[in-house]
Amino acid sequence: MGSLRSNNQPIALVPTMGALHDGHLSLVRAAQKVTQNVIVSIFVNPAQFNQNDDLQNYPRTLPEDAEKLKALEIPVIWAPSPSTIYPDGFSTSMAIKGLDQNLCGATRPGHFNGVILIVAKLFNQTDADIAFFGEKDYQQLAIIKQMARDLDFNIDIRGVPTVRNKDGLALSSRNIHLSDEQLSAASALPLALQMAAASIKEGENIDKAIARARENMIAAGFNSIDYMDLVDAKTLEKLKQWDGVEARLLVAAFIGNTRLIDNIKVK
């Protein structure tokens, strides 16, 4: 990886867990607009999974991923083995405070601690100057920015807008678990977000707008809504009323056994 420095361009890192779809490839393209020196990491990180089942069932498609990256002429794919990342005797952990208390952090204890651990390791291993993350995982992006600030990583962290299918559904590695019927019902999620965000901007009470959005999603076929909250875009603190501050409306919901997340800017 040291040789990447020889052309005097910055090094950009796109961390992924593989099973690459167009959402990941948009991160790669965003990186390629800045530099030729793009490293894509592919590592299904055991430290960020709460349940062993999820870890075992996570899609692993390295040969196909490598083909997609080769087509984009990515110079370095970093796909380490678990024992390279966490060799016997590995005994360091990291913990983020505050930002992980609500939203996904509330139902996935320890998840973001595992994320920042691997991301910090990848930052060190790749010597990156810039790193690209999807805005779909908005809480993750905010937490990684905080970790990079707190630990003095000299890395520019950039968020890339969510890529959606023709019905507005955010692309996600989990979408492959959806049946055709679930896939079409799932478009109720981005629609509910858009409608609630528009109503809040028009001055409707936040709780009412969110209650209606939740009802619409359940009526469309979602089994349960983990959360739908309007939060301050920087602190992720829940907002009870909206006074024009930059905010984000975030949702996590189950359709069948598949948990989908998404978010939208409210500004």
Instruction: Work out which of 4, 12, 16, 262 binds ligand PAF, going by CB under 6 A.
Output: 16
CB-neighbour burial class of residue 102 (10 A; exposed 0-12, middle 13-18, buried 19+): middle
- What is the side-by-side order of every strand in the sheet holding 258-266? 224-232, 247-255, 258-266
> Contact between 99 and ligand PAF (CB under 6 A)?
no
- Binding flag, residue 17, ligand PAF (CB under 6 A): yes
Secondary structure of residue 4 in the 3-state scheme: helix
Q: Which stretch binds ligand PAF (CB under 6 A): 55-63, 113-121, 187-195, 221-229?
A: 113-121
The piece of 15-23, 53-61, 63-71, 238-246 that touches ligand PAF (CB under 6 A) is: 15-23
Q: Does 190 contact ligand PAF by CB under 6 A? A: no
Residue among 104 and 249 whose Cβ is closer to ligand PAF: 104
Task: Kindly state the smallest distance separating residue 35's Cβ from ligand PAF, in Å.
Answer: 19
The answer to the question of residue 137 lying near ligand PAF (CB under 6 A) is yes
Q: One-letter amino acid identity for 44?
A: V
> Residue 24 catalytic?
yes
Question: 197-216 mask for ligand PAF (x: CB under 6 A)?
Answer: --------------------
Q: How far apart are CA 19 and CA 42, in angstroms?
A: 9
Q: Does 119 bind ligand PAF (CB under 6 A)?
A: yes
Instruction: Determine if 115 is a binding residue for ligand PAF (CB under 6 A).
Output: yes
Q: Cβ distance 228 to 250 under 8 Å?
A: yes
Query: Left (φ > 0), alpha (ψ -120 to 50) or beta: where does 98 sit?
Result: left
Helix or strand (DSSP H, E) at 247: strand 247-255
CA distances from 92 to 47, 80, 117, 215 (A): 11, 18, 9, 43
Q: Does 159 contact ligand PAF by CB under 6 A? A: no
Ranked by CB distance to ligand PAF, the top (closest) residue is 15
> How does 185-194 read in b/e, with b if 16+ C-beta sit within 10 Å?
bbbbbbbbbe
Q: Considering the rule CB under 6 A, would residue 117 count as an interface residue with ligand PAF?
A: no
Query: Is 55 a residue that touches ligand PAF (CB under 6 A)?
Result: no
In the complex, the residues that contact ligand PAF under the rule CB under 6 A are: 15-17, 45, 48, 115, 118-119, 137, 140
**Residues acting as catalytic residues:** 24
